[in-house]
Structure 1
Amino acid sequence: MQIQDASLSEETQKRYLNYALSVVTSRALPDVRDGLKPVQRRILYGMHRGGVRADGRYVKCARVVGEVMGKYHPHGDSSIYDALVRMAQPFTLRVPLVDGQGNFGNADGDGAAAMRYTECKLSRAAGELLNELDKDTVDFRPNYDGVEEEPVVLPARFPNLLVNGSSGIAVGMATSIPPHNLGEVIDATIAVIDEPDLAVKGILKFIKGPDFPTGGQVISTKRELEDVYTTGQGSVKVRGTWKLEEPAKGNPQIIITSIPYAVERKTVVEKIAEVIIAKKLPVLLDVRDESTDETRVVCEIKKGTDPQLVMAYLFKHTPLSTNVQVNLTCLVPVKGASGEVPAPERLDLKAMLRHFLDFRMQVVVRRLGYDLKVVQRRIHILEGFVTIFDALDETIRIIRKSQNKADAAEKLMKRFELSAEQVDAILELRLYRLAQLEINIIREELEEKRKEAKRLQQLLSSEAARWKLIRAELLELKTTYADRRATKIVGDANEPEYDAEAFIIEEDAFVLLSQQGWVKRQGSVKDLASTRVREGDAVQDVVFGSTKASVAFFSNFGACYVCRIVDVQATTGYGNPVQTMFKLADGERIVKMLSFDPRQLDVPPEIENAPEPQPPYALAVTKGGMCMRFSLRAHREPSTRAGRKYVRLTPDFPKGGDEVVYVDVCRGDEKLACATAEGHALVCMADEVPILAGAGKGVKLIKIDDPNDAVLGARLMKDSHAPLVLEHENGKTYEITVWTHLVARGNKGSELFKRGRAVRVHPVEPTVPSLEEKG
C-alpha cells in the first residue's frame, strides 16, 4: 500500500464536489429533453426491454423493480418502487407513464401496497417516449457494471417535462416544475415552430398556466404567471374548488370538489375539524369526507350563513389555499469536448420548448437516416431478386451445378455482378417466391421502397420539411392524448376576503389574568375571591370588553402581545397559560393586561404621517430606573405570536439585565411614584416623561448608583388614589403618596430607611370593572 500526504480541506472539497455533481446529474434533476430523472428513465427502459408494453399483460412490480435494480439502477429497491408508484398515480402525474393495477395509494396520503402485491405495465403515453429507441435515435452508454447499455435520454415525442412536471432537491439547487395540460403544451410547441421569435408572453396565449391533476383553481394574475415563466422561478397561488348544496331537509352544505396539488385530502379534513372543535368558526357545524375516486368533502353550515365568507375563512386558515413553488431548473445539454453533457440551468418557458424542439429535430434526423438505411438495404435485396428473375433458368442451373452454398454464391456474384448480401438473400429464397405472382409482388414492393427512399431523402435534405413532419406528429399526439384542463385559471378572483370579525358572535366578556400567567374568558365575574385559580396563584388583572375587541398583554421583556378577546379560551376553570397563545421567551411574564374596548379604553387607528405619536398613551418603568411613554395606537390590532416591541431594554444592567416592572395607561395629569430595593422613593409629574415615537430605552426616572439596587415597582396616582406601599424585609411597610417625595425626574429620590432592603411593592388589588363606564 502506498500512502500519500494530502490536504484534508482539498480532499474534502474535491470529494464533496464529486458527490454534489453526482446528485445533480444522476439523481435529483430531470433532463429537459425527455423530462425524466435517471431512475424514471431506467424504469421505463427496463420495462420496455422486458416486454412490459402497453399492449401486453400486467406483471408484478417486484419483477420490474428487481430487473431495474439488477441491470440499471443499483440504489435500493425502495427508491425504484417509489418512483414507479409516482409514475402510476393519476393524482401525481398529469399523464401517467405507468399503468398500475392494485393499490398505488390515494390522494388521502395512503401509501401504495408492497411491490409483491401490485402489478404494472407501460402506459400508452409512455410508449411515445420509447417507441423510437430501436431506430438509433439516441446515444447509449454502459450501465453501472459495463455489462448492459442504457439510453442517455429517451427519444420523447412530446415535452414530458412540462406535461408531467418534476420536483427534486439536489446539492445547492432544487427543481419544482408544475404539470401542464398536454394539449396546451403541444399548441405552444407548434406555435414556437411556426414563429421562432415568439416571446414568453405570446406562448402564454396557449399555455394558460399549470394544470394540476387534482384540479383546483389558479388565482395568480396573468402578470404574476408571466413573471414566473419569464424568470423561471416564483410561486403560483392555488386553491380548491367548491359548490353549495341545499338539501330539502337539514342545513346547507359546502361541497369541496377539489384540493390543491400535493395536499393530502385527510390533512384538509383534519384542519377543518380543528376549526370546528376550537369553535373558531361558529357557523361551521360539521365536516365529513365522502370522497371516492373524486373529491367530495362535505362542510355543514348554519342556515342563513354566507358560504363565500365561510370559504374565505377556510382558504386563509387551512391548506385549501396554498402557494405552489415554481423553479424551472433542469439538466440542459451543453456542447463539450466529449460531446453533449448535461448541466443544470434555470430556464424560462420558451427556452424549455426550444430545447425540446432542438432535441426533437436531432431525433427525427437520426430516425429518418435509420429508416433510409433500412429502405436502401431492402431496395438492394429486391434489386437482386429482380436481376435473377430475368435469368431464372440460368440461376437455377448455376445453383444445381455448384458444390455447396459458398460455391453457388461465388458463381452467382461473378455471373450477375451481385453483392454478397444480395446473393445470400437469393440463396435463402423459398422456391414458391419464384412464381409469377410473387415476382410481381416483389417488383411492386421495389417500386414502393424506391418512392419511400426518395421521400426520406427529401426530408433529410429539407429542414422546413422536417419541421412540418414534427408539427404533424405533434398534432397527432394531441388528437390521441389531449384532454380537458383540470385546473381552472381564474386570475384575481373577485370574492369577499376573509374578515376576522365576520364570524365573531359579539357579546360582552371578562378576561382574567393570574399572577402565574394563566388567562381565561368568562361571561360574568361576581366575586374575584371565588374565581377558580391554581393553588398559590391569584388574579392579577381583570378587564372586560366585546368579543370583537382586542386585549393587550405587556411583558417584562418589553413586548406587547395582542389578540381578540374571542381568541381567549372561554372557561370557568384555570384557563390556559399565556405561553400557549404567544411565543414568550424563557423568564418572560405579563406585567399588565389592557382591554381596547371603547367602553374601557378607546384606542383609535393610527394616523398616517402624523407629526407625533397620538393618544392614548401608556407609561412603562423598568427595573433599571428608566421610564417612557408610548402611543397605544401602534398596538391596536392583533399581533403575531412574536408580539411587538414597546420598550428596548438595557442589556448590560446588573443582575441579569433590565426588565419592565410597571405598565399602565397614562393620561398625563397623574403623578408617577417609584421605589427601589435600597429604600429610595421618588414622585414626579407624569408629563415630565417624554413620549417616544417607537420602541426605545426612554429616560432616567430615578438615579440608581448601587449595582445591587433596582426599582421594585411604580404607580401612576392621583390625589384620590391609594399610596404606593413598599414592604421591608422585616415586615415594616412604607407608604409613598402623591404629597410626599415629589421631586424632579432623574434624581436619587428620598431615602426611606437606612438599613436592610425592601422585598416588594404591594400590588394593587384588582377589581371587577364596570360594563358601563370607562376605567
Structure 2
Amino acid sequence: MPDSDMSSVIETPFDAALSERYLVYALSTITARSLPDVRDGLKPVHRRILWGMRLLRLDPAGAYKKSARVVGDVIGKYHPHGDQSVYDAMVRLAQDFALRYPLVDGQGNFGNIDGDNAAAYRYTEARLTAVAMQLMAGLDEGSVDYKPTYNGEEEEPEVFPGLFPNLLANGASGIAVGMATSIPPHNLTELVDAAVHLIDNPKADDRELLQWVKGPDFPTGGILVDDEDVIARAYVSGRGAFRLRARISVEREKGGGWHLLVSEIPYGVQKAKLIEQIAALIGDKKLPILADVKDESDEQIRLILEPRARTVDPDLLIDSLLRLTDLEIRFPLNLNVLDATRTPGVMSLKEALLAWLSFQIEVLVRRSQVRIGKIDERVELLDGYLIAFLNLDRVIAIIRSEDEPKPVLIAEFALSDTQAEAILNMRLRRLRKLEEMEIGRERTALAKEREDLAKLIESPARQRTRLKRDLATLIEKFGDARRTSIEVAAATREIDWSAMIEKEPITVILSQRGWIRAMKGHLALDQVGDLKWREGDGPFIHFHAQTTDRLALFASNGRVYTLAGDKLPSARGFGEPVRLFIDLDAEVEIVQLLKLAPDSRLLLASSDGKGFVATGEATLAETRKGKQLVNLRPGASVAVVRPIPDAADTVGVIGENRKMLVFPLSELPELARGQGVTLQRYRDGGLSDAVAFALADGLSWPLGGESGRVRTETDLSPWRAARGAAGRMPPIGFPRSNRFS
C-alpha cells in the first residue's frame, strides 16, 4: 500500500477494536431498541409510531388513514428501520388480545388470536385510541424535552408525559444484548389504587401494595393459580414466573354425558396451535381418554373437548391436558427497564410505581411552570391593552401622526416592545367598551390561576393532592374490572402416563446388528426366525410385551437406557436402528433388552467377575443418554444381566476357565450404581455366565440339540462355597458354551 494511503489506517489490537464496537452495539440495543422506559412504558419504535400518528391528526374522533401512510412517515422521519418491523409493532398496539389497553384503533384485518397474520399495510387503516391520547396528553405544554430525529430534520419527544401507567398496564417484552425484559399486563384500577397508597405512604413495602395489585391481569383472561407468597416474591424481587391456566369447565349433557368447555386460553398462546397440540395427542394416542376437539369459537373462545367415554374422570382429563398442552403456561416476570437516566435495571413493583409517580410529579411541576410563563406573557399583553383603552384618543393620535408610532408609544406610556406591537396589531373592532371589561375579567382569572399554580409548585402536599385527583379522573375514564381471576391451585397431580397409552400386545424384536421393531400382537417366539432380516443379520432378543411397558436396554459399557413400548418402530421392513433412539456409540455392544418392572430385581455381572443386585427402579433412565449403572474397571465389560426369580436364594457362576461356583444370593449387595463385589476368583480368563435360582429346585441347563431337553442338578454341595472362591469343574454334561441357558 502506498505511504499516502496509510494516513487513514489506525493500528489497534483486534480484540480491543472488536470489544469497543460490540459494546457500542450492545448499548444501542439496550437503550434504543429492546427495553421500555419506566416513565411511559414504551420502546422507541412504539413511541415513534404514536408520535407519527399524532402528527397525522389520527385522533379517536377523526377518520382512519391507511397504515401504509403511518408506516411511511415513521420510517422516513423517525425510525430508519424496516417497514415490516414497524408495521408489526403497530399491529401489536392494535390487538386487544395482545394489549390490555390498546393504543391503536385498527380497521381491517389486524390478525387474530388464532395466530393469523395481519393483512398488508396497504389494506388496513388505523387511528389512535383514547388511551393513546391520554398517554400523550401534555406534549404541547412543555412538559417533556424534545430531541432531533436521526437526520436532524424533525423533532420527537424523549418520552410521553401523559398520566397513564402504561409500563405495568400493558406490559412489555424484549431481548437485548445480555439482558431481557418480560412484564405482564395489569389492571389499571388496581395499579392506580396502589399508586394512591404510595402517594400517601411512600415507605410502604411491596407486599403491602399487593392488597391492591393482586397479580397480572391478562387481556385474554385465564386463571392465575399461584399462591400469594409466590406472587409476592416475584414482585418484591422483580423476577419470577406466574402459572396461568385456561378457563375450563365441565358441561353436562342430557343422558349423563359431559364435555369440557375451554372459554379462555392463556395469554400469548395461539388458539390454532393449541388445537393442533390437542389433536396431536389424539392422533398419536398419547391421551386415549380424549376422543375429539372441536372449535366452536366466534368472537368468544369456545373449544369443546370430548372424552372417550362418560366414565372418564373429568379431573384426570383436565390435569392431563394441563400437563401435556399449553392450556397451562408459565409467564415470566423480569421487570428490567430503563430508568429516568436511561440506565437499565430490574425494579420491584414499588420501585416501578415510585419511578412513574416521581415522573408524573415532575411533569405536573414542569407543566405548571410553563403555564405560568404563558400566563405572564398573556398578562403583559392584557396590561398593554388596558393602557391603550385608558388612553385611546392619544394612542390613535400617535398612530395617525407618527411615521414610526412604536417607539413613541413605548416612550410615552412605558410599554414593552411586545405590548406596543400588540397594540399596533389590534383590530379596530376590539376598541369597544365591552372589550375593556372582558380584558379585566380575563386578567383577574389569569391572576388567580397563576397564584394557584405558584402554590402548587411550592407545595409538595398540593402536588400529591392534585395527582390523586387526576388519578381518580383517570379511573373514571378507563377503569374496568379484572379479567384474569386468581384461584390458588396445587400443581397438577402426577399422572400414570402408562394409563394414557392404549394397551395393545406387541412382540419386541431386536436383531444381532441392533435393529429394533415391534410387531402387533404376540407372535409365536419360534416363528421370529422366519421374519425378513437384513443380509448378514438375524434374531438376537425377542419377547412378548405391551405398548404400556418400559424396556431396559443394557450396554457393555455399563450404561442402561429406557425405551417406551409405544414408541418402538413398526415391524414393516426391518425396523430401525436402536441407536436412533438412544445415544449409544457404534463400538459398544448391546448385552440385554428386557421388560422393566420397578419392583423386579436383576443380577448384574461384569467380565472381570464383579457383580451386584439392582432393582428395576434403579435402571430407569428416561433421557437419550441413559445412565451409568455399572462402574467398570479398565478392560472390563458387562457380561451378564439376568432377572432374579422371586424364589431365588442362590447364585451360580461359571468362568471362562470352566470352573463353577455356587453361593447364597444374600452375599451380594443391592446397589443403585456401583462396581459390585467379587463373585468368583480367576487365575486366568474371566466370568462367562451367572444365574440366580432356588437351591431347592436345583440348577438346570439345556442339553443342546433340537430335543429341548433340560438337565437339573439338585445335589450342588460339591460346588457350594463362599462368594469369591475359585470353584471346581461343572457336572458332566454341562454345555461347552459355558452358559447356563
TM-score with structure 2 length normalisation? 0.87
What SS does the aligned partner of 1:342 have?
Answer: coil
What corresponds to 1:480 in structure 2?
A: 477
1:484 offset after TM fit, Å?
Answer: 1.5
What corresponds to 1:772 in structure 2?
A: none
* Corresponding position: 1:342 with 2:338: no
Cα deviation 1:306-336 (Å, max 9, x = unaligned) = 3222111100111111111111111113xxx
What SS does the aligned partner of 1:593 have?
Answer: strand
Cα distance in 1 between the residues matched to 2:364 and 2:153 = 29
What SS does the aligned partner of 1:514 have?
Answer: strand
Q: Quick check: 33-42 or 10-19, which moved more?
A: 10-19
The match for 2:422 among 418, 422, 425 is 425
* Corresponding position: 1:321 with 2:328: yes
Q: Which amino acid aligns with 1:685?
A: F
The match for 1:285 among 288, 291, 297 is 291
What corresponds to 1:631 in structure 2?
A: 615
* Corresponding position: 1:16 with 2:22: yes
Cα distance in 2 between the residues matched to 1:760 and 1:378 = 114
Q: Is the 8 A contact 2:699 2:712 kept in 1?
A: no
* Corresponding position: 1:460 with 2:457: yes
Cα deviation 1:31-68 (Å, max 9, x = unaligned) = 11111111111222222223233332222222222211
Q: Is the 8 A contact 1:619 1:665 kept in 2?
A: yes
What corresponds to 2:3 in structure 1?
A: none
Alignment of 1:222-237 (within 5 A): 222-237=228-243
Cα distance in 1 between the residues matched to 2:318 and 2:738 = 51
Q: Is the 8 A contact 1:522 1:570 kept in 2?
A: no
Q: Is the 8 A contact 2:145 2:158 kept in 1?
A: yes
1:263 offset after TM fit, Å?
Answer: 1.4
Cα deviation 1:149-207 (Å, max 9, x = unaligned) = 22222113122111111111111111111111111111111111111111111101111
The match for 1:200 among 177, 202, 206 is 206
Alignment of 1:597-746 (within 5 A): 603=599, 617-634=601-618, 640-642=622-624, 645=627, 647-650=629-632, 652-653=634-635, 658-659=637-638, 661-665=640-644, 669-674=649-654, 676=656, 682-685=660-663, 687=665, 690-701=668-679, 714-716=690-692, 722-723=700-701
What corresponds to 1:540 in structure 2?
A: 541
Q: Is the 8 A contact 2:146 2:155 kept in 1?
A: yes
What corresponds to 2:516 in structure 1?
A: 518
Structure 1 unaligned spans of 5+: 334-340, 597-601, 604-615, 728-734, 753-757, 765-775
Cα deviation 1:419-459 (Å, max 9, x = unaligned) = 11112222222211112223322222222212211121121
Q: Is the 8 A contact 2:509 2:518 kept in 1?
A: yes
Judged with a 3 Å threshold, the aligned counterparts in structure 2 of structure 1 residues 541 and 154 are, in CA distance, closer, same or farther, namely same
What corresponds to 2:396 in structure 1?
A: 396
Cα deviation 1:345-388 (Å, max 9, x = unaligned) = 11111000011111111111111111111122111111211221
Q: Which amino acid aligns with 1:593?
A: L
Cα deviation 1:262-313 (Å, max 9, x = unaligned) = 1111121111112212233333211022223321111112324332221111
Cα distance in 1 between the residues matched to 2:592 and 2:39 = 64
What SS does the aligned partner of 1:592 have?
Answer: strand
Q: Is the 8 A contact 2:613 2:670 kept in 1?
A: yes
What SS does the aligned partner of 1:201 have?
Answer: helix
1:724 offset after TM fit, Å?
Answer: 7.6
Judged with a 3 Å threshold, the aligned counterparts in structure 2 of structure 1 residues 712 and 153 are, in CA distance, closer, same or farther, namely farther
Q: Is the 8 A contact 1:232 1:347 kept in 2?
A: yes
What corresponds to 1:591 in structure 2?
A: 592
TM-score with structure 1 length normalisation? 0.83
Q: Which amino acid aligns with 1:499?
A: I
Q: Which amino acid aligns with 2:416?
A: S
Cα distance in 2 between the residues matched to 1:31 and 1:759 = 82
What corresponds to 2:55 in structure 1?
A: 49
Q: Which amino acid aligns with 1:671?
A: V
What SS does the aligned partner of 2:118 have?
Answer: coil
- Cα RMSD between the aligned structures? 3.6
Judged with a 3 Å threshold, the aligned counterparts in structure 2 of structure 1 residues 721 and 672 are, in CA distance, closer, same or farther, namely closer
Cα distance in 2 between the residues matched to 1:261 and 1:532 = 56
What corresponds to 2:386 in structure 1?
A: 386
Q: Quick check: 359-368 or 442-451, which moved more?
A: 442-451
Cα distance in 1 between the residues matched to 2:220 and 2:582 = 36
Cα distance in 1 between the residues matched to 2:435 and 2:687 = 116
Cα distance in 2 between the residues matched to 1:293 and 1:581 = 46
Cα distance in 2 between the residues matched to 1:575 and 1:318 = 34
Judged with a 3 Å threshold, the aligned counterparts in structure 2 of structure 1 residues 579 and 413 are, in CA distance, closer, same or farther, namely farther
* Corresponding position: 1:434 with 2:431: yes
Cα distance in 1 between the residues matched to 2:477 and 2:550 = 60
Q: Which amino acid aligns with 1:640?
A: E
What SS does the aligned partner of 2:644 have?
Answer: strand
Cα distance in 2 between the residues matched to 1:433 and 1:215 = 60
Q: Which amino acid aligns with 2:615?
A: S
Judged with a 3 Å threshold, the aligned counterparts in structure 2 of structure 1 residues 575 and 387 are, in CA distance, closer, same or farther, namely farther
What corresponds to 1:412 in structure 2?
A: 409
1:551 offset after TM fit, Å?
Answer: 5.6
* Corresponding position: 1:218 with 2:224: yes
What corresponds to 1:309 in structure 2?
A: 316
Cα deviation 1:396-433 (Å, max 9, x = unaligned) = 22211122xxx122222222221111122222222111
Cα deviation 1:519-568 (Å, max 9, x = unaligned) = 548565556526995525537243568x8776655454544556887x56
* Corresponding position: 1:146 with 2:152: yes
Judged with a 3 Å threshold, the aligned counterparts in structure 2 of structure 1 residues 569 and 626 are, in CA distance, closer, same or farther, namely same
Alignment of 1:73-112 (within 5 A): 73-112=79-118
Cα distance in 1 between the residues matched to 2:120 and 2:740 = 67
Cα distance in 2 between the residues matched to 1:433 and 1:644 = 95
Alignment of 1:122-271 (within 5 A): 122-248=128-254, 251-271=257-277
Task: Kindly tell me the number of residue pairs found equivalent between the two proteins.
Answer: 713
Judged with a 3 Å threshold, the aligned counterparts in structure 2 of structure 1 residues 626 and 481 are, in CA distance, closer, same or farther, namely same
Judged with a 3 Å threshold, the aligned counterparts in structure 2 of structure 1 residues 705 and 321 are, in CA distance, closer, same or farther, namely farther
Cα distance in 2 between the residues matched to 1:231 and 1:762 = 65
Cα distance in 2 between the residues matched to 1:41 and 1:112 = 21
Cα distance in 2 between the residues matched to 1:725 and 1:10 = 79
Cα distance in 1 between the residues matched to 2:418 and 2:427 = 16
Q: Is the 8 A contact 1:543 1:595 kept in 2?
A: no
Percentage of matched positions with identical amino acids? 34
What SS does the aligned partner of 2:261 have?
Answer: strand
Q: Quick check: 413-422 or 508-517, which moved more?
A: 508-517
Judged with a 3 Å threshold, the aligned counterparts in structure 2 of structure 1 residues 760 and 519 are, in CA distance, closer, same or farther, namely farther
Cα distance in 1 between the residues matched to 2:640 and 2:672 = 19
Q: Is the 8 A contact 1:620 1:663 kept in 2?
A: yes
Judged with a 3 Å threshold, the aligned counterparts in structure 2 of structure 1 residues 137 and 726 are, in CA distance, closer, same or farther, namely farther
What SS does the aligned partner of 2:388 have?
Answer: helix
What corresponds to 1:39 in structure 2?
A: 45
Q: Quick check: 159-168 or 665-674, which moved more?
A: 665-674
* Corresponding position: 1:500 with 2:500: no
Structure 2 unaligned spans of 5+: 1-6, 706-710
Q: Which amino acid aligns with 1:672?
A: G
1:592 offset after TM fit, Å?
Answer: 3.1
* Corresponding position: 1:118 with 2:136: no
Judged with a 3 Å threshold, the aligned counterparts in structure 2 of structure 1 residues 711 and 75 are, in CA distance, closer, same or farther, namely farther
What SS does the aligned partner of 2:408 have?
Answer: helix
Q: Is the 8 A contact 2:322 2:492 kept in 1?
A: no
Q: Quick check: 442-451 or 49-58, which moved more?
A: 49-58
Judged with a 3 Å threshold, the aligned counterparts in structure 2 of structure 1 residues 43 and 505 are, in CA distance, closer, same or farther, namely closer
Cα distance in 1 between the residues matched to 2:420 and 2:430 = 15
What SS does the aligned partner of 1:723 have?
Answer: strand
